[in-house]
Amino acid sequence: MKNIEAIVKPFKLDTLKDRLRQVGAQGLTVSEVRGFGRGSGEKDSHPGSRRAVDFNPKVRIQMVSDDDMVQPIVEAIQATARTGEIGDGKIFVSEVVDVIRIRTGERGHDAL
């Protein structure tokens, strides 16, 4: 099993959610987050002042999937979230040692 975490632009969320369902993603968790990467945040101009905005709004999507679903999910995220502009985001894939469903005590694949 793998944990797939993606940081993407917020306006991509609805389209991405629909695309992930199409490829068979079983569920996901979404969090509103803020951050910056190599661009170090945008410059924002307000009347009478100019200041650096340190953090840009993003959405973090997390899901755990079977190994055979990782590639279709990653490809769906890449294709859907890409705008070609700075700040499109990142995808992180990591191993999951175990999953336990709290309600039933099921473990591993059965808990997904």
How many structural domains comprise the chain?
A: 1
DSSP track, 29-41: EEEEEEE--TT-S
Structural domain span for residue 106: 2-111
Q: What is the CATH number of the domain that holds 11?
A: 3.30.70.120
Instruction: State mean pLDDT over 42-57.
Output: 63
pLDDT digits (tens, 9 = 90+) for 53-90: 678 899 999 999 999 999 999 999 999 999 998 889 99
Contact 12, 91 (CB under 8 A): no
pLDDT digits (tens, 9 = 90+) for 14-37: 999 999 999 999 899 999 999 888
pLDDT on residue 39: 63
Q: What does residue 83 show for φ and ψ, rounded to 5 degrees?
A: -115, -20
Q: Is 3 in a helix, a strand, or coil?
A: strand
